[in-house]
């Protein structure tokens, strides 16, 4: 079993792809939209990543989900399972390859702060960014269980970084 995408060197086009998706997606959220953020490794200049644009959308509430799902579907996104209460998930694949992941969280949800803080830590700390990249490349080489294994095996690193922010 393989990952959803191969880890690639940083690509400046990731920022362009985020901004294009942001402009399209915003219309799906109407008055509930608070903000749209580029998160994940593709948001970190110089960091190798799976070329899947991670988008975090902060909303005031989950309003009229049927209409939102229809707009998102029209843009090529499929609604996945909720990741937790108040945390919805969409994915976009093109020709069987994952290109975008969208997290939609109600304002105040703990994942908003967590995703933004981890992204900012990687942006601002070269040594942590390099260690994270080295880990991801090693996990990709040794992966036999697909994306679930990859996520589980990099979780301790992320937890340690997040704990260091509260120390």
Is 60 exceeded by the pLDDT of residue 1? no
Cα distance between residue 65 and residue 158, in whole Å: 31
2 occurs within a structural domain: no
* Structural domain boundaries enclosing 99: 13-166
* pTM, to two decimals: 0.90
Render pLDDT for 59-88 as a digit per residue (tens, 0 to 9).
Answer: 999 988 899 999 999 999 999 988 888 899
pLDDT at position 166 is 65
CATH code, domain carrying 160: 3.30.460.10
- In angstroms, the Cα distances linking 41 to 98, 136, 156 are 15, 10, 16
Domain count, the chain: 1
125 occurs within a structural domain: yes
Mean pLDDT of the region 116-132: 95
Which pLDDT band holds residue 6 (cuts at 50, 70, 90)?
A: confident
Is 90 exceeded by the pLDDT of residue 165? no
């Amino acid at each position: 079993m393989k990952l959803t995408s191969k880890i690639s060197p940083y690509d400046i086009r990731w920022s362009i792809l985020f901004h294009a998706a942001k402009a399209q997606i915003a219309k799906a959220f109407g008055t509930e939209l608070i903000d749209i953020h580029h998160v994940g490794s593709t948001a970190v200049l110089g960091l190798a990543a799976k070329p899947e644009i991670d988008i975090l959308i902060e909303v005031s509430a989950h309003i009229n989900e049927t209409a939102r799902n229809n707009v998102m579907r029209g843009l090529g996104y499929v609604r996945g399972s909720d990741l937790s209460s108040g945390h919805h998930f969409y994915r976009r694949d093109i020709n069987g390859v994952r290109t975008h992941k969208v997290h939609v969280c109600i304002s105040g949800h703990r994942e908003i702060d967590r995703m933004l803080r981890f992204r900012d830590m990687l942006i601002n700390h070269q040594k942590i960014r390099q260690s994270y990249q080295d880990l991801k490349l090693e996990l990709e080489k040794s992966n036999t269980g697909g994306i679930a294994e990859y996520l589980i095996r990099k979780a301790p690193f992320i937890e340690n970084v997040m704990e260091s922010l509260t120390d």
